[in-house]
Homo-oligomer: A and B are copies of this chain.
């Protein structure tokens, strides 16, 4: 019963013609009023609005998009709705897009390349005016192909193609900051728990390796396999404990891994940072909790989103060019790092 009024095709909804008739004007005028054109008299505006609300008229965006051949919509593809990192990027994109009068439609890539690919196809079929992909794991070739159809900006992942724009954080620099911090605390045995194949993993690992070389520890690098999860941090810790000697410090590819690692160390009676120091990456919400107090690398997430959207709108509205922006991460020192107590 409650559904009787519905079905896939709803009952005839009022159209602009209905409103025009009710207001005693032409459809074109109604259109102008609906789009808030200054070229409609105040009188006409009132009459049209009155008639529209009386009829319960709702502008049909589908028809509007078809007729105008632009959608004033940008598609935002997020790699993973479960990861709060993306929520902040989305905030930034929203804020900027809205100010430019653009609608944002979201899709969740669910950490799967095929799902992301389908989402992009849907965006293109829906004729979005532009695309922001955050943490996208699609191959560069696919993205450049897409960028030929519609302006595209990558957020959070640096991409070296002039066909598209990108706003990302210098992950190698972030890794360098972590290593530098630990080095200055006297640590010489610094291991890295990496992120496997996830986005950002490779540059962080490379940054770790080159930073180690830069401080003369090139022959003491140690990379433990991980995958950006808490369990990975657990496993890396267990392996280190088993195989010894334990590094005096760890730099993990993300905060989650750091938490898993600290947990294992604590379970083995090793205090952090009294015995071992740990630096995470991302500065996610729980890194700041007092009883974790993780020293980590922060990324300006909101700004990434804002900049990505701004770059896109610039290319859409004006004649701005897509470019590559690399933002600087910074070190947030909390309480999981301390001076090295072990002779090097």
Enumerate A285-331 residues with CB–CB distance to B below 8 Å: 285-286, 289-292, 315-317, 319-323
Task: Report whether A105 and B108 are in contact in the complex, using a CB–CB cutoff of 8 Å.
Answer: no
Which residue on chain B has the smallest CB distance to residue A103?
B122
Complex-state Cα separation, A29 to B291, whole angstroms? 63
Enumerate A78-93 residues with CB–CB distance to B below 8 Å: 81-82, 84, 86-88, 90-91
> Would you call A199 an interface residue if the criterion is a C-beta within 8 Å of the partner chain's C-beta atoms?
no
When each residue 160-172 of chain A gets 1 if its CB lies under 8 Å from chain B and 0 otherwise, what string results? 0011110000000
Task: Report whether B70 and A66 are in contact in the complex, using a CB–CB cutoff of 8 Å.
Answer: no
* Smallest beta-carbon distance A63→chain B, Å: 5
Task: Report whether B94 and A108 are in contact in the complex, using a CB–CB cutoff of 8 Å.
Answer: yes
Task: Report whether B61 and A126 are in contact in the complex, using a CB–CB cutoff of 8 Å.
Answer: yes
Given the known interface contacts A61-B127, A124-B58, the answer about A322 and B2 at a Cβ–Cβ threshold of 8 Å is yes
> Would you call A149 an interface residue if the criterion is a C-beta within 8 Å of the partner chain's C-beta atoms?
yes
What chain B residues lie within 8 Å of A321 (beta carbons)?
1-3
Q: Which single member of B6, B91, B110 contacts A315 (CB below 8 Å)?
A: B6
Segment at the B interface, from A16-24, A180-188, A189-197, A262-270 = A262-270
Number of copies of this chain in the oligomer? Answer: 2
* Smallest beta-carbon distance A198→chain B, Å: 16
What chain B residues lie within 8 Å of A65 (beta carbons)?
62
Sample of 17 further A-B pairs with CB below 8 A, known A90-B108, A262-B291: A2-B162, A7-B316, A8-B316, A9-B69, A58-B124, A60-B66, A60-B127, A62-B71, A66-B66, A84-B84, A106-B108, A230-B289, A259-B289, A263-B289, A286-B291, A289-B292, A291-B291
* Interface CB pairs A-B, < 8 A, 14: A1-B162, A2-B162, A2-B322, A8-B317, A58-B125, A61-B125, A81-B87, A87-B108, A105-B106, A106-B107, A259-B286, A266-B290, A286-B289, A291-B291
Interface residues of A (CB under 8 A from B): 1-3, 5-10, 13, 58-63, 65-66, 69-71, 81-82, 84, 86-88, 90-91, 94, 103, 105-108, 110, 121-122, 124-127, 129, 148-151, 162-165, 230, 259-260, 262-264, 266-267, 285-286, 289-292, 315-317, 319-323
